[in-house]
Chain A
Amino acid sequence: MFDNVFQTYKLRLYEAMDNSFIRAALRRAVDSFRINRDKALKRYSDVEDKRLRLIEVKKHVLSNLESYVKQTMESIESNNSYAYYAKSINDALKIIDEVIGSGKMIVKSKSITSEELNLNYNLKLKGNIVYETDLGELIIQLLDSKPMHILSPAIHVPKEKVAELFSKISGENLPPDIPKLTMFARSFLRDKFFKADIGISGANAIVANTGSIVLIENEGNARYVSNTPPKYVVIAGLEKILPTLIDATILVEVVSRYASYYMPSFVSIISGPSKTGDIEKTQVLGVHGPREVHIILLDNGRSEVARDPLFSQALYCIRCGACLYECPIYQLVAGNFGYTYFGGVGAIWTAFIDRELHYASLIAFTCTLCGRCKVKCPMNIDTPEMILKLRESIHSIKLIPEPIRQIIENVKKYGSPYGLTNRFL
């Protein structure tokens, strides 16, 4: 079974590696990422202090996670919103089922946390229609594919392919002209935002003492998703909790600069449903924005990881994507080096959050341990150290790929990984 997964995974890596579209797209992306990130870091040199402060804040929250979850839930409820704690994926899906039900039209903005739940699939299973509204995610959805980057999910799809897809749904013959394709996405989604019954998003941060959801974006779709439908549902991992709004603004600066932006176009802070008291001071919910706000805090293994002295740092990840662009393997195979979460740090998430141990093993053994991700990470996450430790855990449950098993045997038997053969290294 594991050997099959290994072969399939290897084939996928090699296919991606030989795909000239992926290569070309990644080269462009990496080059412009590096230039823009360096520019952003230079222009805002104070980000250095801010990221160090953010690391301390994250450390503090994760070592007091339980009380922060409690505080966050209380704050959310005091904002006339609904707070839920979901221990597992099943708990989360049950809550979502109750809150959303079936036969609804849903607009959704990019959220990897929802990938953890395989949310789109589960919503459709219940007879809901889901529209991804982030341009990249929309393309991925139409392709029935899998996101390949946390910030640019369709990084591997060339414009010709997008034109073909959009032509199919529009019935028109759209040229591979990027601004025109973007305009098409705008007009295609516009009425969906207004007709939708429900908006779903993740969160970049949840503020414990105000119960606020913080959304960071450039396209503006998350604003619609959180604002136009009558019901707004947020699904966010526990690691998104930050103590105060000040901490959230620090996050905004750190994450955007390391993601190569000066400032994201839009930062939304949402603290409860839309409300007014303008007629006779009588409070009414749901004026122009949502009447109901539901916030689901997803644990799914996070509290346990938070208690681990080494692996807890995987939860510091703010998903800036810097490590991916700097990873020599990711630069060749994109999100195929990963499962729900990508790259080296993704191996840790695959092991402890997705609990897909076969994949966690293979991803861990796809890492060259070069350490460049650690050098470039704003949160100082020591991914190579974690990967080594993960390989140790994987060894103890005997999920080691065959060539590596051979190496171990050779060293033990002959004192050399090469053994008596010529095959390895």
Chain B
Amino acid sequence: MGRKLLLEKAHIPGIRSYEVYRREGGYASVEKALRMAPADVVEEVKKSGLRGRGGAGFPTGMKWSFLAKPEGVPRYLVCNADESEPGTFKDRYLMEFIPHLLIEGLIAASWALGSNRTYIYIRGEYAWIVDILEQAIVEANANGWLGKNILGTGFDCQIYVQRGAGAYICGEETALIESLEGKRGNPRIKPPFPAVKGLWDCPTVVNNVETLAAVVPILNIGGEEYAKIGVGRSTGTKLISACGNINKPGVYEIDMNISVEEFIYSDEYCGGIAHGKRLKACIPGGSSVPILPANLLLKTAKGETRMMHYEGLADGGFATGSMMGSGGFIVLDEDQCIVRHTLTLARFYRHESCGQCSPCREGTGWMEKILNKIEYGKGQLSDIDLLWDIQRKIEGNTICPLGDAAAWPVAAAIRHFRDEFEWHVNNPELSQQRNFGLAHYAEALTTV
């Protein structure tokens, strides 16, 4: 059994209510934080080695220490609960089942950063979770953890929930800020970074839900202790949302010291591939990260066991590795068609492009069209090269990373499954069938 720091108590009956949460030791980290100087709280988070759980993996303590502190200007903490990366549903789970954990982390972080108005920007579709969070905020206020002069420290803080309205791009931090200001979610050109000029042009920190929840165990057990969990620069625990063709889709908390093979086949986690089928491929960190064929997923190119941590998943770079990303773990069994799956992702990015930069706006549309042609048996071999060419021209040429995120899945699909694209072109009449009998399968393993 791995160590659990975030979801350990998520299944205690009634944990959603303040009463039970508090009885189980909730809000101790706020009591602790408010007795510390804000800079010392930042220091503790630095020591923990915590890296942002929203996708980029940037060290949280360092991000916090970059926050500008001009005299007389308010600073803001914004929690990113936009969670729209296909394959990712971990933040939802945390907010739905143990909402006070997020509120607790937000209060401690608001103290550390000096934010008196803290916003949770949540994707509009999670409408019922807004009610759950607002209830938790009401309870936190009623018990003196929010409001004026919290615990007699003179610190005032309020948390507000802001609903988005359906736009993946609003998960990008500057688009999120624009949206929170009541505008279209068009990402801003950086610099200036939000740490200097963010919400209403004030210094702002944007952090993911899981990142902010992790502040609670960090303060409770201490940054150094937290850093001992996991391996190397992958400290602490990570929530993984597992989906696709596995026996037990769901949200799992792992300490980053297990192998990908164990994660997929162990009964504690995914429980193996559904219907006794073989593993074909996996996108281990949300739709934006490269897909890996089974052989490269379970072992690195050097033949070593691939581990479920930032460095392990990235081993081999984009040539033979992938990324931890948002922790959205998408598993494809032997019957799944890579072209069709890639087409749905290309359609997703075309739909979600904000349209500000031509390479992204036009390129995502072209990629979808070409993939559509290939999938429906109307493609030519030269289309595969064209697709490759387009994705390369998007990558690195856009205002925000959505362009890269759209390019990478297409690039990786061609890199590892070119034969399957060619098969579609060469067998147009069969192109709608799903079982291609191609290489790269992993034999079905008995559960470990």
A and B form one complex: no
Q: Which residues of B contact A (CB under 8 A)?
A: none
Q: Which residues of A contact B (CB under 8 A)?
A: none
